């Protein structure tokens, strides 16, 4: 089998409501899918992390830089292709957009291999390690106006009422206001529901320590990206002083970036982003590195149904470390805000929310060959950025 063509599809629409996190407000939702065609009629789909104009730039990297290196190759030769591209791009970007672009291509190759062999992705990457996948609901995005604490409390109670057993909220107004927001959300949830807090790296180390002490008192499960991803000393400082799990890593790339993050002891919970760090081939190496350090992994998930399904496969195949009768379990990150690219783009919807209400906050493992998501071509054309 040979690869004949690689095409990027950058999709975008105006959201009904502006949403925010600690770095910015945004009013457009976007997605970047990669389509890899072969001479045997099998087409694979991948996805690149990176919204908006970043996706448009990554499209050029996929189609103008990476595609000429890859067209003509056998899609089963995933390691050869990955290293061929990485070695040629090393001088131009060992992190960031070239690696995000490579991620989408690599993921599409795995989809092709799954379709060619008739096997779901999780079977290709090690097989089934769990029967159902716990899902956590993230919401509570920042808004410019109104009573945010009250709105967050209502939204969190609504997510819990849908069946989620764990929820994640944003912060980013400053330490005092943020602690008030977390208190409001915590008191709106039942005691058994986990709460996680995502700062998107907005704090100085001392402000993060102040917030983290409040999170300790409130029994928060994890404190995500408290400080800048480059601030390894800050991460370690917080880990040494706080009980709450320090999580992060969505902005880290390749096994080499993760080697340094893990060796420096920065996180209690690793959150690799498969659509950014180098694709499935590289994710498997990062997972092995994290488990080598006995750091549990729960993937960062963002984007369309392709990204969500890839992560469902990866969590299905993730072994328990260190294991036990009631082992630590990863959770699938699920965005509870409206997302057409997840819910309406595939020809067969994933129907995750429908499942978790009836199954204790969990979803079934995917079973279709490859990633199991076929984008509706008319949908792609309707939302294409040209
Ligand atoms: Ca995050």
Phi, psi of 200 (to 5 degrees): 45, 45
- Distance from the CA of 138 to the center of ligand 1, in angstroms? 10
For helices 280-292 and 254-263, what crossing angle results, to 10°?
20
Q: Is the per-residue pLDDT at 131 higher than 90?
A: yes
pLDDT of 227 above 90? yes
Tens of pLDDT, residue by residue over 50-85, are 999 999 999 999 999 999 999 999 999 999 999 999
Measure 266 CA to ligand 1 centroid, in angstroms: 16
pLDDT of 163 reads 97
Q: How many CB atoms lie within 10 A of CB 131?
A: 9
Distance CA 30, CA 10 (A): 7
Residue 234, pLDDT score: 98
- Distance from the alpha carbon of residue 38 to the mean position of ligand 1, in angstroms: 35
What angle in degrees, to the nearest 10, is found between the helix axes of 205-218 and 175-188?
A: 20
The full set of domain ranges for the chain reads 3-118+376-383, 122-363
- SS3 category, 66: helix
Helix (H) or strand (E) holding 158: helix 148-161
Predicted confidence band at 1 (pLDDT cuts at 50, 70, 90)? Answer: very high
Q: What is the CATH number of domain 3-118+376-383?
A: 3.30.390.10
Hey, which bits of 174-271 come out as E strands? 194-198, 222-224, 245-248, 269-270
Position 148 scores a pLDDT of 97
CA of 20 to the centre of ligand 1 (A): 12
- What separation in Å is there between the alpha carbon of 169 and the centre of ligand 1? 10
Q: What percent of the chain has pLDDT over 70?
A: 100
pLDDT band at 386 (very low <50, low <70, confident <90, very high): confident
Cα 335 to ligand 1 centroid, rounded to whole Å? 11
Average pLDDT across the chain, whole number:
97
The alpha carbon of 231 and the centre of ligand 1 are apart by a number of angstroms equal to 16
* Distance between Cα 250 and ligand 1 center (Å): 7
What tens digit of pLDDT does each residue of 185-203 get? 999 999 999 999 999 999 9
Half-sphere exposure (Cβ direction) of 331: Cα atoms closer than 13 Å: 23
Q: Which residue has the tokens 């204790």?
A: 360
Distances (CA, A) of 333 to 22, 134, 168, 219: 19, 9, 9, 20
CA of residue 114 to ligand 1 center, whole Å:
29
Selection from 303, 22, 242 nearest residue 140 by Cα: 22
Q: How far is CA 113 from CA 6, 44, 125, in A?
A: 16, 8, 11
Query: Prior bond to 322 cis, omega within 30?
Result: yes
Q: Decide if pLDDT at 86 tops 90.
A: yes
Q: Convert the pLDDT of each residue in 141-152 to its tens digit.
A: 999 988 999 999
* In the predicted structure, residue 32 carries a pLDDT above the cut 90: yes
80 CA from centroid of ligand 1 (Å): 31
- State in Å: Cα 42 to ligand 1 middle: 34
Class of domain 122-363: alpha beta
pLDDT tens figures, 234-287? 999 999 999 999 999 999 999 999 999 999 999 999 999 999 999 999 999 999
pLDDT greater than 90 at residue 328: yes
Catalytic residue positions, numbered: 300
In sequence order, the β-bridge partners of residue 297 are: 270
Query: Is 167 in contact with 138 (CB distance < 8 Å)?
Result: yes
CB 29 within 8 A of CB 339: yes
Each residue of 278-295: pLDDT tens digit? 999 999 999 999 999 999
**From ligand 1's centre to the CA of 288, what distance in Å?**
22
Q: How far is the CA of 380 from the centre of ligand 1 (A)?
A: 27
d(CA 148, ligand 1 centre) in Å: 19
pLDDT at 161 > cutoff 90:
yes
């Amino acid at each position: 089998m040979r690869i004949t063509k690689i095409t990027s599809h950058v999709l975008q629409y105006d959201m009904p409501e502006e949403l925010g996190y600690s770095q910015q407000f945004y009013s457009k939702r976007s997605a970047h899918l990669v389509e890899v065609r072969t001479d045997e009629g099998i087409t694979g789909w991948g996805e690149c992390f990176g919204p908006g104009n970043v996706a448009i730039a990554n499209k050029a990297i996929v189609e103008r830089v990476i595609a000429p290196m890859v067209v003509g190759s056998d899609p089963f030769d995933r390691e050869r292709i990955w290293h061929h591209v990485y070695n040629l791009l090393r001088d131009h970007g060992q992190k960031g957009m070239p690696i995000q672009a490579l991620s989408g291509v690599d993921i599409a190759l795995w989809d092709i291999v799954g379709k060619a062999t008739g096997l779901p992705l999780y079977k290709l990457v090690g097989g089934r390690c769990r029967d159902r996948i716990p899902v956590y609901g993230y919401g509570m995005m920042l808004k410019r106006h109104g009573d945010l604490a009250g709105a967050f409390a209502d939204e969190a109670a609504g997510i819990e009422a849908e069946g989620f057993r764990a929820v994640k909220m944003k912060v980013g107004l400053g330490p005092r206001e943020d602690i008030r927001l977390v208190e409001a959300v915590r008191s709106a949830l039942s005691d058994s529901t986990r709460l996680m807090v995502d700062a998107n790296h907005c704090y100085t180390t001392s402000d993060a320590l102040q917030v983290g002490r409040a999170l300790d008192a409130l029994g928060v499960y994890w404190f995500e990206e408290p400080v800048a991803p480059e601030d390894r000393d800050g991460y370690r400082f917080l880990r040494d002083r706080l009980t709450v799990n320090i999580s992060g890593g969505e902005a880290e790339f390749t096994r080499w970036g993760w080697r340094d993050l893990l060796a420096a002891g920065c996180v209690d919970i690793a959150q690799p982003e498969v659509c950014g760090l180098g694709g499935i081939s590289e994710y498997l190496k990062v997972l092995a590195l994290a488990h080598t350090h006995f750091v549990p992994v729960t993937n960062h998930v963002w984007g369309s149904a392709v990204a969500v399904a890839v992560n469902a496969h990866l969590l299905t195949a993730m072994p328990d470390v260190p294991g036990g009768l009631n082992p630590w379990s990863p959770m699938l990150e699920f965005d509870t805000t409206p997302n057409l690219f997840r819910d309406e783009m595939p020809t067969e919807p994933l129907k995750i929310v429908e499942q978790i209400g009836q199954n204790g906050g969990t979803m079934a493992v995917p079973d279709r060959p490859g990633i199991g998501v076929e984008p509706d071509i008319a949908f792609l054309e309707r939302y294409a950025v040209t």
